[in-house]
Amino acid sequence: MTRRTERLNHLIQAEISDLLRKHINDPRLNGLISVTSVSISADLHNAKIMISALGDNIDRIEVLKGFHSASGFLRRELAHRLNIRVTPELTFEFDDSIEQGVKLVSLIEKVVADDKPLETDGRKRNTKRK
């Protein structure tokens, strides 16, 4: 990845996050949604935006439909805000790496809690030193 595409990825990510926070009024996109990464193609014509939505009741299909319907607005706003010759076509995909990370941390905590040695009376012994 060249320095230009990397810089453009970060710029697009920041601008879409700002637009999502301040200017989009779609009720499907009102939850806790974040833009985790942007990957623009080498010819700068296509950009894949990875999004993450936190919460148990988030319907991913509805969120993706909301982004699909807002993609024209987002692209037009990017064209106004960024000084680039061609504004890329935007595609949105879900990034579940945050959810996988939370699951992994909880599994590690569970293993650590189960692995503590037991005292003679059956209670878990505190292994921290003072």
What domains does the chain contain, in order, with CATH numbers?
3-95 (3.30.300.20)
122 vs 24: which has the higher pLDDT? 24
3-state secondary structure of 6: helix
Is 70 exceeded by the pLDDT of residue 129? no
Q: How many CB atoms lie within 10 A of CB 87?
A: 19
Helices H, strands E: what count in the chain? 3, 3
How many angstroms from the chain centroid is the CA of residue 1?
A: 20
pLDDT for 128:
61
Report the predicted TM-score, pTM, of the whole model to 2 decimal places.
0.74
CB 86 within 8 A of CB 47: no
- Tens of pLDDT along 27-75? 888 878 889 999 999 998 999 999 988 766 567 888 889 999 999 999 9
pLDDT for 4:
86
Q: How many CB atoms lie within 10 A of CB 38?
A: 23
Is 80 exceeded by the pLDDT of residue 130? no
